């Protein structure tokens, strides 16, 4: 890993990967160098370069960014190790929060559909051409109040869960101390590093959620 570089060299490399005059081979060499620096600024430069028109000239750019993320985000002390775990939890709770929000929206949409259906059936019952059809419509209508109540209750319960999850996410975010994890960690952690125990960890979490 090329750690014997100066700030001036890093600045020059970043300038060159964004310079359209930089030759193709030099562009690839600089990209590889930046990927191995274990430097947050180098990682940000690679991520910005990915948006540029010349990014396609470095066919392994995504792998370079993944490698850079590995070096930059790997914990190097106890505080960073705890922050790393906090950010993993932050990501997991946010995913659960988004899922609960989607369930809440579905419950509300279902309640609205049931309310419209109830209103429609009440009008249809009043206009039914005979008693047999009126009876069929009433049978459909009779259970709607209960379904509407259940949908509204589901939505209310989900709102309570969402409020708790929002508070948890807020508290975890505040607890993360390392600047690099606060800026980039939540997006990257959970995908850039594989633990040998990962499969067993997933099984334990799945068992606890049953």
- pLDDT number for residue 203: 61
Q: What tens-digit pLDDT sequence spans the chain (210 residues)?
A: 556 788 899 899 999 998 889 999 999 999 999 998 888 889 889 989 999 888 888 999 888 988 888 787 777 788 888 888 888 888 889 889 999 999 999 999 999 999 999 999 999 999 999 999 999 999 999 999 999 999 999 999 999 999 999 999 999 888 888 777 766 655 555 444 445 555 655 665 666 665
Judgement on whether residues 66 and 155 belong to the same structural domain of the protein:
no
Residue 2 belongs to some domain of the structure:
no
Judgement on whether residues 33 and 86 belong to the same structural domain of the protein:
no
Judgement on whether residues 132 and 91 belong to the same structural domain of the protein:
yes
Judgement on whether residues 195 and 133 belong to the same structural domain of the protein:
yes
Domain with 149, as residue range(s), is 78-208
Q: How many residues does the chain have?
A: 210
Using a CB cutoff of 8 Å and minimum separation of 24, what contacts does 115-121 make?
Answer: 115/148, 117/144, 118/144, 118/145, 118/148
Residue 198 belongs to some domain of the structure:
yes
Q: What is the pTM of this model?
A: 0.66
- pLDDT number for residue 162: 97
> CA–CA separation, 46 vs 64, rounded Å?
8
The structural domain count of the chain equals 2
């Amino acid at each position: 890993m090329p750690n014997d570089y100066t700030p001036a060299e890093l600045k020059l490399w970043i300038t060159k990967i964004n310079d359209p005059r930089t030759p193709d081979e030099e562009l690839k060499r600089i990209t590889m160098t930046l990927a191995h620096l274990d430097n947050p600024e180098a990682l940000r430069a690679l991520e910005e370069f990915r948006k540029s028109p010349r990014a396609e000239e470095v066919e392994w750019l995504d792998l370079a960014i993944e490698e850079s993320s590995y070096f930059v985000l790997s914990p190097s002390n106890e505080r960073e190790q705890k922050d790393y775990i906090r950010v993993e939890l932050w990501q997991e709770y946010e995913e659960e929060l988004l899922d609960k929000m989607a369930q809440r929206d579905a419950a509300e949409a279902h309640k609205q559909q049931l309310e419209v259906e109830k209103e429609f059936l009440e009008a249809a019952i009043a206009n039914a051409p005979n008693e047999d059809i009126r009876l069929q419509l009433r049978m459909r209508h009779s259970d709607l109040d209960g379904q509407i109540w259940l949908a509204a209750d589901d939505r209310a319960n989900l709102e309570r869960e969402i409020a708790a999850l929002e508070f948890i996410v807020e508290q975890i975010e505040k607890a993360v101390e390392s600047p690099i994890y606060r800026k980039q960690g939540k997006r990257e952690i959970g995908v850039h590093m594989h633990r040998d125990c990962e499969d067993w960890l997933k099984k334990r979490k799945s068992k606890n959620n049953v």
